[in-house]
Structure 1
Amino acid sequence: MATAVETLGKLERRITISFPLTDVRTEVEKRLKVQARTAKAPGFRPGKVPLKMVAAQYGYQIESEVLNDKVGRAFNDAANENNLRVAGFPNIVPKEEAAEGQLAFDATFEVYPEVAIGDLTTVELETVQAEVSEAEIDKTIDILRKQRVHFHTKGEAGEHGDGGEAVAANGDRVTVDFVGSIDGVEFPGGKADGYAFVLGEGRMLPEFEAATVGLKVGEAKTFPLAFPEDYHGKDVAGKTASFTITLQKLEWAHLPEVDAEFAKSLGVADGDLAKMREDIKVNLQREVAGRVKARNKEAVMDALIKVAELEVPKTLIAQDSERLAEMTRQDMAQRGMNVKDVPFPAELFAEKAERRVRLGLILSQLVGDNNLQATPEQVKAQIEDFAQSYEDPREVLKYYYSDRRRLGEIEALVLEENVVTYVLGLSKVTSKAVAFDELMGSNAQA
């Protein structure tokens, strides 16, 4: 039995549910008898353990299961009878006062809000577009060359030359021994032997790199180094250390020539440079299209948040905050970080969770009102598009269609694109061109 629904706030509701204590006892006894058929205890054959011993061993667990089942069923029945769309999970607590022979519980919960979406024809949106020019292809080739760099002893004649004067310069890979001290005392992490890095890449503090430039193998230099106030090593942050470095090895960088062998290393079997450039262009265009789509999607989502009015259930925000915290923990663990004892307070993710939940409710409303669900044809087309960049597209199709969860991720992506297309079709859209570097440097996320 359930009482009438009480309204505690805009979304918060409460129902009191109750049922006879005898119903619980009857169900507990029934389940204990079932448990007794297979129960084991020293000195008894399986199934011959006295019911009192079975009750002593399993009674608490079974009673908890029965209560959870009955309370859950009673709550679901009450929610259905009152046509309530419950958001998240209810908070159910026993009532201190209940009629004789009855068990009573208060179930406090939130319901899904009404979502009011404003006039989309009045929305002004700015989308972006970008082109891939020959200059971008050249830049990409330079990056690919740097990824395939070879280092040779500087000043020593070889197949590719000697690299010039054997003096450390930006672009060279240096191997050094160093030791640092503060007030004459060495500090943890301030000493290393055989430490290698490339000058000019910014891996070391500017003073450290500047002191290394100009050294020859075997030479040493002592110099002061001021650690920034926000330096990750708290023991030395904001302090000035004295470092001595000794150059042990000096190598110059040889970039591969852009020739047939280079093209073959990129997967162009016949080494055709024109084909290599075309492949790079196609890949860049695919990447640009993805970035443009993400930027435009973000613009649409921002507009929807502004034009829609709704209350966001706190329960859903809390649940998504916990989900984001756990996802972050797993991601960091997969990257090799030890996060076993690192706290991940869900509150840190509340703002992002609130946006995600809000958008989810808005999108759900738009999809339902305008029949924007993902069709099987759209899902297949999206997977085939993903598969283009893989060596065996059939394996990609198999990967998604063999797992309902993975397929659901694609369906959600297509659904969002349907919403974006729908909103762009109604709103006032202006488009602007953005530079390739600006677009590729952005991290638009909706």
Structure 2
Amino acid sequence: MFYQLYELNHAMVAPFRAGADWWRMAYRNPLNPLSHTMLGRSVAAALEVFERSTRRYGKPEFGLTETEVGGERVSVHEKVIWSRPFCNLIHFERVLPANHGKDPRILLVAPMSGHYATLLRGTVEALLPHADVYITDWVDARMVPVSEGRFDLDDFIDYLIDIFQFMGPGVNAVGVCQPSVPLLAAVGVMEMDADPCVPATMTLMGGPIDTRVNPTAVNKLAQSKPLDWFRDNVIMNVPWPQPGFMRPVYPGFLQLSGFMSMNLDRHMIAQKDFFFHMVKNDGDSAEKHRDFYDEYLAVMDLTAEFYLQTVDEVFIKHSLPNGRFKHRGRKVDTKAIRNVGLLTVEGQNDDISGVGQTEAAHFICPGIPNEKRMHYVQADVGHYGVFNGSRFRRDIVPMIVDFARAHSGGRKAMSPRVIEGGKA
């Protein structure tokens, strides 16, 4: 019922939001003398803050149309090359110069944790000059009819295996945050089956492999409540007239409330600063705020079964590091992983996946040779900085690309090493 009330509230506010937007444009119109005054800019700023605060944010676009390869600008075409009800595989196809060599194929496994895959736009953009990039574009559960069936953690793993088999041998998989666990499980299943399409390398970034290590506030919350609490308090049915009507989900707006409550003071200050940037006519700062929050506030629903199984297996039972994780009733043996290079990346100030949680993958995969494993801790970054931002572009991207080239036939393998604080 709460989801229905949320939708009703949006519908009731819609006329006021439209009116606020109309008046905002009127006060911003350069033909209006008030637009050149402090009063006019203050009214326009207040109206925009109201409109943006009450808006439903749709899925953003990747909007990546070109990149630079070898000092030359080349065009990029976004293509869906594989599709299932809950996921599309997007290929960012580059039109390369004729003499350009073969770059590593990198599959970004985007998190299914509330935000759309476009959250990794900066990740894709940073990798495009060096690699042939693909990404899993997960579908909002509220947009998938109930007739398409369930989608849980087992299905997530099945999708990954299907994608690897579709792409063929030699793929370099990069799991960002949440998918680190199902990616590691999928690779374990493929190694157990001697699947020739198993990825060449597996990079896990800020992932909750073992949340018992250096637990964060998020981990402690999951531990403090029984699974029934999550089922009773956060699971709701998609309201009419959405395509997924009556599908049980963990709604995006609830997830967003949780995200924002962790740093509520920071978001309130950001809104205040946004208002004053507009009043002072600081267009660049205001535009940066819009760009960030257009992405941050765009959230998607998760299927109830996927969310509850993830909470239970990853955060409550710790099934993977305990050696009790099962896929379709079959125990996943991570010790069977021997042929896949393993790179783990963590952020020194990560408050979502604490330092050591991702590194735990090395301890549960003892079969990987030392020369095919590497761990890195990036200094002075939080969770978001592990896969985006200046330090990611400067330090982490070259490492991912070099690791992929080294272990997918492109060049001699690197020596095993552990890097902490951004220094070898």
TM-score by length of 2: 0.21
Higher Rg:
1
TM-score by length of 1: 0.20
